Chains A and B, each alone.
Chain A
Amino acid sequence: MAKYIARRLLIAIPLLLVITIIVFLLIHAAPYDAIDAMTNPKMSQETIDAIRARYGYDKPVWVQYFAWLGGILQGNFGYSIVSKTSISEQLAVRIPNTILLVLPSYLVAYVLAIVLGLVAGSHRGGKADHVIDGIASVLIAVPSFWLAMLLIFVFGYLLRWLPIVGMQTVGDGSFVDVLRHYILPFVTLTIAFLPDNLRYVRSSTITQITQDYVVVQQAFGAKRSEIMFRHVCRNVLGPILTRLGMALPMLVTGAIITETIFSWPGVGPYFMTAIKGMDYPVIMSILILSSALVILGNLLADVLNALADPRIRQGVIA
């Protein structure tokens, strides 16, 4: 097992390096750079050159790349062009806020998806299946931002039950206050995460139930619940675990739209402000972070898969 993970890691590292090179070249190719943000046209060329030299921008591209990469490895993502603040400091505050929102809602959606998907798939064509599949296919067509707008209208404006902006009321940081701010974005995200996984569980349950081994079990007089829990569930849950690993990047970028609508102080609004202000270092930091998480997530998915399926560990199947 350790050997398997080590081999996967060895593949992941060069991939990460390639991504950093691409991102660095993108920053480099951008129409203006951090120096343009620090200087103004009134400065003399000498002053500009001096600033350029101080930050190392006069060195060859590859030297700059290694300096930048070294910074990232030490957790220093550089500075925003627009606000001149440290990106790492901002992210250190914002990522926990995003995780606070994404992790619980993803897990709730995940569990709901498994339960509802198994129920629908095992009663294919029945009433429960019709209702569950119907809801899933409607929800898949609902843009999450529109859902958020409707929730804001009903619970924020019409009923005035819940606050609709931010994470807490100014001057009131109590738990109840944060919880009240938490409900609407949480519900939006849970509903947004639900249908994809739900349909996946449902269709793989259906695929499993039509397999020969189920027929054999039935022929031997196994009870329906026995077949479901002992055999079908096990085969359905394997690939679902993989999806859990793949969802890792969501922890940073999974709620950009929802956070923006509710002004939740996470990565989302930070990213959107950076996009609109052409703040390349911020944009690229988030891109690097999410690519790294994508690769880590794939690694995690492979490992989870190998744990669930001994054939993969032993190299019988890819």
Chain B
Amino acid sequence: MAAAQMTAAQAGVPKAGKPKRQWTRASAAWSAFKHDKSAIVSITMLVIIVIACLIAPLLPIDPNATDVAHRLAGPSAQHIFGTDQLGRDYFVRTLYGGRVSLLVGLLAMLTSLVIGIVVGTVAGLVGGFVDGLLMRIVDILSSVPWLVLVTVVSVFLKPGLTSIILVIGLFSWMEIARLVRTETQAIKGRDFVQYAQLCGVSRTKVIMRHVIPSALPTIITASTTSLASAIMTESSLSFLGVGVQQPMSSWGSMLQDSQAYMQNDILMAIIPGLLIVIVIFAFNKLGNVMRVFADPQVMSGERD
């Protein structure tokens, strides 16, 4: 019986022709990427930055080794980005800061992705009162200034990396929920989903097997933008001193520290900021390229 249901559900998926469509979409996205110089440059830089941050622990320099005699030093062969106020190597510190920034961004994005997908599919599939209620919550949350919400909630949580990730994730899922809801509503009416429901396939299975795979391109696209804004939020919070706490540092908190030494060592203020700009710009560009993949209307020039 169970096996029969499965095949029925699978048979409902129009298999023929699908891989080919995906392929043309992918090549459209690839050609959109190839013709966008700023996308090529920024995404290449992003890849280099991410790899450098990942391999930072393999470098033979200790990010916490102080050298007070050479504090606030300019770039040299020994310290390519110079040193900070305690004589610590700024290059390695930047890479370690990047690890924190990227990690917080990634996990916060995943948190908001999970909440957004759950709320979006439930609202889209169930409809009616539940849909109305969930969308009202989405409306309210997305209109209250995020900085106020995030800081208010962070007061009630113990400071730490987990809280920052949770706080950012808890207040950034609304856009994804909206997108997934629209996709779900469109999918709900399609023959293969109705057929699967008719065959008695459980709701969870319908969601996992049909709704989420169909919404996947949209979800992936939204997640790159969400990642960019999570990194921005984290850096603003850390800059204001309510984000990442000592001894850990992120690009945002490094910028906060650098404020006091700006007159002597402007490089300390420029490098982490520039990295934030490059990373966010690149993730946004990546999102744009992926939109060509997710939404054929973009490719045909009907939307931008």
A binds B: yes
Chain A residues at the B interface, C-beta cutoff of 8 Å: 15, 26, 29-30, 124, 134, 137-138, 140-146, 149-150, 152-153, 157, 202-203, 206-207, 210, 246, 249-250, 253-254, 256-257, 260, 271-272, 275-276, 278, 280, 283-284, 286-287, 290-291, 294, 297-298
On whether the beta carbons of A153 and B262 are closer than 8 Å, the reply is: yes
On whether the beta carbons of A143 and B301 are closer than 8 Å, the reply is: no
On whether the beta carbons of B281 and A138 are closer than 8 Å, the reply is: yes
Binds A, one of B24-32, B104-112, B125-133, B238-246: B238-246
A17 vs chain B, min Cβ distance (A): 13
On whether the beta carbons of A145 and B304 are closer than 8 Å, the reply is: no
- 5 nearest CB pairs, A to B: A146-B273, A141-B281, A141-B280, A253-B145, A206-B304
On whether the beta carbons of A152 and B273 are closer than 8 Å, the reply is: no
- Bound-state CA distance A29–B155 (Å) is 12
Q: Is B236 an interface residue (CB 8 A)?
A: yes
On whether the beta carbons of B303 and A206 are closer than 8 Å, the reply is: yes
On whether the beta carbons of B144 and A291 are closer than 8 Å, the reply is: yes
A47 vs chain B, min Cβ distance (A): 29
The one of B143, B235, B285, B301 that contacts A297, using a Cβ cutoff of 8 Å: B143
- Bound-state CA distance A152–B270 (Å) is 13
- Bound-state CA distance A276–B159 (Å) is 11
Q: Is B72 an interface residue (CB 8 A)?
A: no
Q: Is B6 an interface residue (CB 8 A)?
A: no
On whether the beta carbons of A145 and B242 are closer than 8 Å, the reply is: no
On whether the beta carbons of B152 and A260 are closer than 8 Å, the reply is: no
On whether the beta carbons of A203 and B152 are closer than 8 Å, the reply is: no
Q: Is B276 an interface residue (CB 8 A)?
A: yes
Q: Which residues of B contact A272 (CB under 8 A)?
A: 240-242
By beta carbon, the residue of chain A nearest B300 is: A210
On whether the beta carbons of A286 and B255 are closer than 8 Å, the reply is: no
Contact A157-B304, Cβ < 8 Å, known A146-B255, A146-B276, A257-B240: no
By beta carbon, the residue of chain A nearest B301 is: A210
- Bound-state CA distance A257–B255 (Å) is 13
Q: Is B161 an interface residue (CB 8 A)?
A: no
Contact A290-B148, Cβ < 8 Å, known A137-B281, A149-B269, A153-B266: yes
A215 vs chain B, min Cβ distance (A): 13
Q: Which residues of A contact B280 (CB under 8 A)?
A: 140-141
| A–B complex contacts, Cβ < 8 Å, 25 sampled | A26-B152, A26-B156, A29-B156, A141-B284, A142-B277, A143-B235, A143-B277, A145-B239, A145-B240, A146-B276, A146-B277, A149-B269, A150-B269, A153-B262, A153-B263, A206-B303, A254-B145, A271-B151, A272-B242, A275-B155, A283-B152, A287-B152, A290-B148, A294-B145, A297-B143
Chain B residues at the A interface, C-beta cutoff of 8 Å: 38, 139-140, 143-145, 147-148, 151-152, 154-156, 228, 232, 235-236, 239-242, 252, 255, 258-259, 262-263, 266, 269-270, 273, 276-278, 280-281, 284-285, 301-304
Q: Which residues of B contact A145 (CB under 8 A)?
A: 236, 239-240, 255
Q: Which residues of A contact B302 (CB under 8 A)?
A: 210
- Bound-state CA distance A29–B269 (Å) is 40
- Bound-state CA distance A285–B239 (Å) is 24
- Bound-state CA distance A275–B167 (Å) is 15
- Given contacts A272-B242, A291-B144, list 16 more A-B pairs with CB under 8 A: A124-B304, A141-B278, A144-B236, A146-B276, A149-B258, A150-B273, A153-B262, A153-B263, A153-B269, A210-B301, A249-B144, A256-B240, A271-B151, A283-B152, A283-B155, A294-B145
Q: Which residues of A contact B284 (CB under 8 A)?
A: 137, 140-141
On whether the beta carbons of B255 and A202 are closer than 8 Å, the reply is: no
On whether the beta carbons of B240 and A202 are closer than 8 Å, the reply is: no
Q: Which residues of B contact A287 (CB under 8 A)?
A: 148, 152
Q: Which residues of A contact B38 (CB under 8 A)?
A: 134, 137
By beta carbon, the residue of chain A nearest B263 is: A157
By beta carbon, the residue of chain A nearest B151 is: A275
By beta carbon, the residue of chain A nearest B274 is: A146
A31 vs chain B, min Cβ distance (A): 9
On whether the beta carbons of B242 and A157 are closer than 8 Å, the reply is: no
Q: Which residues of A contact B139 (CB under 8 A)?
A: 298
By beta carbon, the residue of chain A nearest B302 is: A210
Q: Which residues of B contact A138 (CB under 8 A)?
A: 277, 281
By beta carbon, the residue of chain A nearest B270 is: A150
- Bound-state CA distance A275–B159 (Å) is 12
A114 vs chain B, min Cβ distance (A): 17
Q: Which residues of A contact B232 (CB under 8 A)?
A: 143
By beta carbon, the residue of chain B nearest A283 is: B152
On whether the beta carbons of B273 and A149 are closer than 8 Å, the reply is: yes
On whether the beta carbons of B255 and A278 are closer than 8 Å, the reply is: no
On whether the beta carbons of B143 and A249 are closer than 8 Å, the reply is: yes
Interface centre among A146, A150, A260, A298 (most CB of B within 10 A): A146
